[in-house]
């Protein structure tokens, strides 16, 4: 476990603060954006690589971002977790090639003048049965956070924090994010399709 202000996770502060991004909605049952990537986990004894699909079905609204930020600031991370779990409709899903997926509660994008995009998302982390029963320290890290940077051609890279704690520092008016692992999982060879 490390507690450091990772550059990636600074972005997550924007997840709950950012306003003014255009919102998209699911059109004809198809995601507004589908990303395929390889996740490289350097925290494992042997680096693991898995295929990963991230589908964004709608972009979260600025009002949703403001509401989530207020919930975290006023009621804390447990209330934020409940709010993310209850977001309807979901913002999308994340699914490893070798397993079952789970819902993304919040997703936003920022589009630059050159056509590149930064996509950020947050959701609750699936807790295994073993974790739920035995309650190891990892069970306290209940959020999954991600950032993907796409070039104008739809290719890019990103980072994923599969197990994070989130808190709000009222004095500094910022998010504090603690990663359970030493470093985020890298998302490489990211390809976006609409």
Give me the DSSP letters along 19-60.
--PPP---BTTB-SEEEEEEEEETTSSS-EEEEEEEEESSPP
| pLDDT at position 57 | 96
120/159 Cα distance (integer angstroms) = 10
State the number of CA atoms in the 13 A half-sphere of 53 facing the CB: 16
| pLDDT at position 14 | 38
CB 158 within 8 A of CB 190: yes
Tens-place pLDDT, residues 67-117: 999 999 999 999 999 999 999 999 999 999 888 889 999 999 999 999 999
Contacts of 36 (CB under 8 A, 6+ apart): 51, 52, 53, 190, 191, 193
Which residues in the chain show pLDDT less than 50?
1-27
Which of 163, 150, 166 is CA-nearest to residue 71?
166
Rg (CA), the chain: 16
pTM of the model: 0.79
Strand 33-41 relative to strand 185-193, pairing:
antiparallel
User: 66 in helix, strand or coil?
Assistant: helix
Token digits of residue 33: 């954006």
| pLDDT at position 25 | 46
Any idea where the domains of the chain sit in the sequence? 7-143+151-193
| pLDDT at position 189 | 95
| pLDDT at position 29 | 62
| pLDDT at position 178 | 85
State the number of CA atoms in the 13 A half-sphere of 24 facing the CB: 22
């Amino acid at each position: 476990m490390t507690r450091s202000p990772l550059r990636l996770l600074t972005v997550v502060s924007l997840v709950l603060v950012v306003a003014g991004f255009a919102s998209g909605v699911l059109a004809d049952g198809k995601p507004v954006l589908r990303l395929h990537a390889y996740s490289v986990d350097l925290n494992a004894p042997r680096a693991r690589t898995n295929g990963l699909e991230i589908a964004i079905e709608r972009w979260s609204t600025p009002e949703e971002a403001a509401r989530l930020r207020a919930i975290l600031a006023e009621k804390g991370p447990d209330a934020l977790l409940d709010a993310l779990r209850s977001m309807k409709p979901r913002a999308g899903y994340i699914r490893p090639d070798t397993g079952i997926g789970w819902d993304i509660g919040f997703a936003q994008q920022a589009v630059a003048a050159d056509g590149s995009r930064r996509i950020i998302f947050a959701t609750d982390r699936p807790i295994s049965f073993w974790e739920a029963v035995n309650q190891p320290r990892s069970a306290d890290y209940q959020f999954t956070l991600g950032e993907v940077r796409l070039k104008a051609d739809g290719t890019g890279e990103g980072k994923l924090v599969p197990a994070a704690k989130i808190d709000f520092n009222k004095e500094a008016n910022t998010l504090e994010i603690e990663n359970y692992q030493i470093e985020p999982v890298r998302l490489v060879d990211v390809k976006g399709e609409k």
